[in-house]
Amino acid sequence: MSLGTEQITDLELLLKFPTSSAMQGLKIHHDAPASLQASAKRLFDRGIIDQVDGGYLTELGHELQQHALHLSNALK
């Protein structure tokens, strides 16, 4: 299995969310690259973030972020 461009973009966005507090989120502005806006929509549609333009990670989002962090750290 290989990761496609969209999946990599989604992982990169997931890793941009703050890890220090569940009360911190991200805002994807309307002038952000289209690929970033599309990634936020995909994460929202999957229930990983709570707003189509970023917002906060859901419970699922926090769990996936932890997995992504472990993978990212292992590959560094």
Q: Is the pLDDT of residue 22 over 80?
A: no
Confidence (pLDDT) at 23:
83
Confidence (pLDDT) at 1:
83
Confidence (pLDDT) at 64:
96
Confidence (pLDDT) at 68:
96
Q: Which neighbouring-strand residues pair with 27?
A: 54
Q: How far apart are CA 24 and CA 56, in angstroms?
A: 7
pTM of the entire structure?
0.91
Bridge pairing between strands 54-57 and 26-27: antiparallel
